[in-house]
Structure 1
């Protein structure tokens, strides 16, 4: 994977952990970042199975719930010491990861949905935990509005305006996102590289690299 540290970003696992064993470089990554939707309307037991599958390869995990995960998954992730929803942490390599799980409202009445104002508040709180760090990775389950990462069939953009506004204002180096499976893509908003690897079952993942001076990210596939 080259010089420096790197992290593997995945999401929208939806209880299907088979792809985890196929992710290249997982064992030597500085950590694994899960952007949300570990389960399909599942609780802590289902999320535990996902973390167990990752930990077979790598013990360092940063994770948060998506809209398809029940509230007790958030509690479980906190108990495991891996939750980055509405908070953040600086890694030993000097990279600040901060997160916002859940999603903006959907037509499907999924377990963990929130309005734009709440999403914005969570992002502000998460960023505050790592704002002192010059190298930032934003992990947001809901993609920013009007990008390649939030498009559904017919070309409709369904991402969050609050997420887009936050990226435009703060300009983290990288935004890892998910939620919209069909919008597996890379895009840029100013200085921010936005990556949505899609559902893990589709073979997509993000690779975040840090050489000690700058961060970059790219969309890759194991299929």
Structure 2
């Protein structure tokens, strides 16, 4: 990789299954890793530590956030590592920033980190307000935006977050990385925003996010 190029590898919905980490190409050489959420299944003791150790053994520069299946101890752990992305802002390169909001809106399953649409809106807008100046933006959300190709469950219903969709419509981030709906992997657009759901990590999907000569690009990939 040239000095002017940075590649980040993004994935999510790990759910404690880590075999795919061994198979991800270019992980050691990447500038860093972005994890959209659902690292664990209800965060049993020692699990986030094991997941961290496995991924960081190949790349130590990790940005991650909790999903609806993770408990708050995941956020506490990530904060302790300086890696938390939930409700936080980072600069990946000059004029290129990244912000994250984890959790999901309510599901039928009563998972640990569900929030209302109103809370989702508040988290998104409060985090956005801390961005400051930028030219290009990556939004990392765990929940998929409503009424896209990326929030459709098996019966054809759209179950994504209306708050996430409204935020994207309003602020038009360049790249959106999401997950949550395992069966709806793919790519879609809302206005100029390109949105990616790589699906469940064990299925081998990931997104290659590249910054070269000040330009942000993203490509959906499969192991």
Class of the TM-score when normalised by the shorter of the 2 chains:
over 0.9
Contact 1:63 1:83 in 2 (8 A): yes
Which residue of structure 2 lines up, in the alignment, with residue 29 of structure 1?
30
Which residue of structure 2 lines up, in the alignment, with residue 73 of structure 1?
74
Count of paired positions: 222
Distance in 1 separating the partners of 2:61 and 2:204? 21
Distance in 1 separating the partners of 2:219 and 2:111? 29
Which residue of structure 1 lines up, in the alignment, with residue 63 of structure 2?
62
Tell me the TM-score normalized by structure 1: 0.95
Q: Does 1:11 align with 2:12?
A: yes
Which residue of structure 1 lines up, in the alignment, with residue 207 of structure 2?
206
Which residue of structure 1 lines up, in the alignment, with residue 189 of structure 2?
188
Give the 3-state SS of the residue equivalent to 2:144 in structure 1: coil
| Structure 2: gaps spanning 5 or more residues | none
Which residue of structure 1 lines up, in the alignment, with residue 134 of structure 2?
133
Distance in 2 separating the partners of 1:77 and 1:125? 20
Q: What do the CA deviations read for 1:166-206 (whole angstroms, capped 9, x no partner)?
A: 00111111000000000011011111110000011001001
Q: What do the CA deviations read for 1:82-130 (whole angstroms, capped 9, x no partner)?
A: 0010111112455311001010000000000000111111111222232
**Shift of residue 44, structure 1, vs aligned partner:** 6.1
Tell me the TM-score normalized by structure 2: 0.95
Distance in 2 separating the partners of 1:79 and 1:104? 26
Distance in 2 separating the partners of 1:157 and 1:183? 10
Correspondence list, 1:82-101, <5 A: 82-92=83-93, 94-101=95-102
Which residue of structure 2 lines up, in the alignment, with residue 117 of structure 1?
118
Contact 1:5 1:93 in 2 (8 A): no
Q: Does 1:53 align with 2:62?
A: no
Contact 1:35 1:178 in 2 (8 A): yes
**Shift of residue 131, structure 1, vs aligned partner:** 3.6
Give the 3-state SS of the residue equivalent to 2:46 in structure 1: helix
Distance in 2 separating the partners of 1:152 and 1:139? 21
Q: What do the CA deviations read for 1:41-92 (whole angstroms, capped 9, x no partner)?
A: 1146211211111111111110000000011111111111100101111124
| Structure 1: gaps spanning 5 or more residues | none
Distance in 2 separating the partners of 1:43 and 1:91? 32
Distance in 1 separating the partners of 2:24 and 2:129? 32
Give 4+ residue runs of structure 1 displaced > 6 Å after superposition.
none
Contact 2:95 2:133 in 1 (8 A): no
